Amino acid sequence: MPSIILSKDGNVLREVRLVKERLTIGRAPHNDIVLEELAVSSEHAVIVTRDGDSFLEDLNSTNGTQVNGQPIRMHFLQHGDVVELAEYRIRYDADASADPSPRPLQGPKLIVLDGPNCGKEISLSRPIVTLGRPNDHIALVIREADQYYLSNVEGLDPPVVNGVPLGSQRHRLADRDVINYCGARLRVFLSN
C-alpha cells in the first residue's frame, strides 16, 4: 500500500498510508492533510489512489505544486517522487515490497483524466452506461455487438469527442478517443 511522508524544514511531521481513494491537501481544516501556511491554498491538491496507483492533481492553487522541482497540474506518482507545496515536502513511497496488484477493470472502459474523480475507471461491460448528472446533463454509452456509441440525452452542453461537439446524432467511439463532458475529460479504452 502506498504512503506519503510529510516533512518541513527537514523534519518528518507524519506518515500517511493512502487507504482513501481521495486524499485532499490544503490550508482549510476540512482537508485530510492540513498545511498551516499562507502560501498553501485552502484546497491546494489531491492525491487519488486506485488499485495501488496514485495520481497527484493541483487544484488550481495560487502558488502551484511541484514534483521533483517541476511544476505540474497532474502527475502520475512514482516511488521516491518529492512533492513540494510551499515549505512542505511530501515524499511518495509506492511500497515496492508489496506484491503488485492486478490491473483493474479488464475490458472496455472509460478513465477520468482530470477533475475530482481523476483516475476513476468506468466499466463499459453493461449494454448501457449513463454519464452525467440527473436532471442536468445525461449522456449514454451504448454497446451494440462489439461497437460502442455515445449519445446525448439531456442538457444544453453536449459531450465533445476529440474536440468535436456531439450534436443530435450518436457517435461511434474508437479506442483512445477523449470525451469532454460535465467539466471532465474521459479517455476511451476499448482494447486491453
Q: Which three cell numbers stand for residue 68?
A: 521533483
pLDDT of residue 9: 84
- The C-alpha atoms of residue 34 and residue 77 are separated, in whole angstroms, by 20
Mean pLDDT of 70-82: 89
Structure confidence by residue, pLDDT tens digits, 30-73: 999 999 899 999 999 999 988 778 899 999 999 999 999 999 98
Domain 3-93 has CATH 3.40.50.300: no
pLDDT of residue 105: 52
Confidence of residue 92 (pLDDT cuts 50, 70, 90): very high
Q: Which residues contact 156 (CB under 8 A, 6 or more apart)?
A: none
pLDDT above 90: percentage of residues in the chain: 38
- The C-alpha atoms of residue 18 and residue 113 are separated, in whole angstroms, by 20
Q: What CATH fold (topology level) applies to the domain 109-189?
A: Tumour Suppressor Smad4 (2.60.200)
User: In angstroms, how far apart are the furthest CA atoms of the chain?
Assistant: 59
Residue predicted with more confidence, 38 or 104? 38
CA distances from 138 to 108, 132, 169 (A): 20, 5, 14
Q: How many CB atoms lie within 10 A of CB 105?
A: 17
Residue predicted with more confidence, 59 or 155? 59
- Positive/negative CA dihedral, 117, 141, 138, 130: negative
Mean pLDDT of 11-19: 86
Q: What's the whole-number average pLDDT of the chain?
A: 85
pLDDT of residue 102: 43
pLDDT of residue 97: 47
Beta strands per DSSP E along 18-165: 22-26, 33-34, 45-50, 53-58, 65-67, 70-72, 74-76, 82-85, 88-93, 109-112, 121-123, 128-133, 137-144, 147-154, 160-161, 164-165
Structure confidence by residue, pLDDT tens digits, 105-150: 568 888 888 766 777 788 888 888 888 766 667 888 888 888 999 9
Q: Which residue has the cell 515496492?
A: 96
Provide CATH 2.60.200.20 ranges for the chain. Answer: 3-93, 109-189
